[in-house]
């Protein structure tokens, strides 16, 4: 029961109705017997600064940040942890004694799910990452920290991809990064060299979305990771048809959420319950 003592956490995004985070987090909070409630807030991009200020005004304990606000919120926070500072993207905010601290738990969610659940070891591998927005920044940062051999980055906005690559090189001068023009032939030739392909764009999230790359670019030595979790994307369908290993972003969502839960509450997150609730909700939606 919600009372005057109930603490509020939640998620901001635009749109937000598709978010599965409330299902996971409210189940986890109840299981942990914490007097918290997790609420989704739809925040128009023009209202982000006002929404961040409201975290303090309303005494909200913590907020997850999703598309398209992960980069925008950075400039309105009081402090960033090291990873968020490096990639300039935040997916978790903690209101700590009136100071808003930004974290990026997507990095932990991606790398842990890739290695522990996907069984893929990225060290000394060549990787192609499609996208340079908030999710892509977490993916690239995690892979650089894991010491991949080479990273290809491509985005429909080539200038943004170049700016991000330069930012990564500033902090990791030894990283072997190449920005690939949004050109089918160039992308195909670079993917040929890779053992891992990551779609870190929103393409595939909606029914009717096309595959973000030509399906013929998928080769037998490739592991395909799509950060999208709410549906079976065209990319994953083609990967399964080709018989290559692949996974979606469901485990990444659970693990990043679990880390955020622990930041806000100081309690160990019930990860298995969070995953169970997510998968149940996804099944119902289908």
Cα 68 → chain centroid: 11
286 has a pLDDT exceeding 80: no
189 has a pLDDT exceeding 90: yes
CATH 3.40.50.720 residue ranges in the chain? 121-244
User: Which pLDDT score is estimated for 252?
Assistant: 98
φ and ψ at 39, to 5 degrees?
-125, 135
User: Which pLDDT score is estimated for 285?
Assistant: 75
Measured CA to CA, the distance from residue 127 to residue 269 in angstroms comes to 31
Q: What is the mean pLDDT of the chain?
A: 96
- What residue spans of 122-270 are helical by DSSP H? 134-145, 158-171, 184-192, 234-242, 250-265
Looking at domain 7-104+253-285, its CATH architecture is: 3-Layer(aba) Sandwich (3.40)
Catalytic one among 70, 192, 206, 268? 70
pLDDT above 90: percentage of residues in the chain: 94
pLDDT per position as a tens digit, 8-66: 999 999 999 989 999 999 999 999 999 999 999 999 999 999 999 999 999 999 999 99
Residues sharing a CB contact under 8 Å with residue 157, sequence separation 6 or more, in sequence order: 132
pLDDT per position as a tens digit, 100-151: 999 999 999 999 999 999 999 999 999 999 999 999 999 999 999 999 999 9
Name the nearest CA neighbour of 29 among 69, 53, 65, 61.
61
Measured CA to CA, the distance from residue 246 to residue 118 in angstroms comes to 8
Residue 99: active-site member: no
Q: For residue 198, name the pLDDT band (cuts at 50, 70, 90).
A: very high
User: Which pLDDT score is estimated for 31?
Assistant: 98
CATH 3.40.50.10860 residue ranges in the chain? 7-104+253-285
Q: For residue 207, name the pLDDT band (cuts at 50, 70, 90).
A: confident
Torsion of CA 234, 235, 237, 243, to 10 degrees: 160
Q: Give the pair of three-digit tokens for residue 284.
A: 């119902």
- Is the CATH number 3.40.50.720 carried by domain 121-244? yes
247 has a pLDDT exceeding 80: yes
User: Which pLDDT score is estimated for 182?
Assistant: 86
């Amino acid at each position: 029961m919600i009372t005057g003592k109930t603490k509020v956490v939640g998620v901001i995004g635009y749109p937000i109705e598709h978010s599965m985070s409330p299902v996971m987090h409210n189940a986890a909070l109840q299981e942990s017997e914490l007097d918290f409630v997790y609420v989704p807030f739809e925040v128009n991009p023009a209202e982000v600064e006002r929404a961040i200020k409201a975290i303090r005004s309303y005494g909200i304990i913590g907020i997850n940040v999703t598309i398209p606000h992960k980069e925008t919120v950075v400039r309105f926070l009081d402090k960033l942890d090291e990873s968020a500072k490096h990639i300039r993207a935040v997916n978790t905010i903690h209101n700590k004694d009136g100071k808003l601290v930004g974290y990026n738990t997507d990095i932990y969610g991606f790398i842990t799910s890739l290695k522990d659940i996907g069984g893929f070891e990225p060290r000394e591998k060549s990787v192609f990452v499609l996208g340079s927005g908030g999710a892509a920044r977490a993916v690239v940062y995690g892979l650089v920290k894991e010491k991949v051999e080479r990273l290809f980055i491509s985005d429909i906005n080539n200038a943004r991809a170049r700016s991000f690559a330069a930012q990564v090189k500033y902090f990791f001068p030894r990283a072997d990064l190449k920005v690939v023009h949004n050109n089918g032939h160039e992308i195909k030739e670079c993917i040929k060299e890779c053992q891992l392909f990551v779609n870190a764009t929103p393409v595939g999230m909606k029914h009717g979305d096309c595959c973000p790359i030509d399906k013929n670019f998928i080769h037998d030595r490739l592991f395909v990771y799509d950060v999208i979790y709410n549906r079976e994307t065209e990319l994953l369908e083609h990967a399964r048809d080709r018989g290559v290993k692949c996974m979606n972003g469901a485990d990444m969502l659970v693990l990043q959420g679990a880390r955020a839960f622990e930041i806000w509450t100081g309690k160990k997150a019930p990860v298995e319950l969070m995953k169970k609730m997510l998968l149940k909700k996804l099944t119902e939606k289908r």
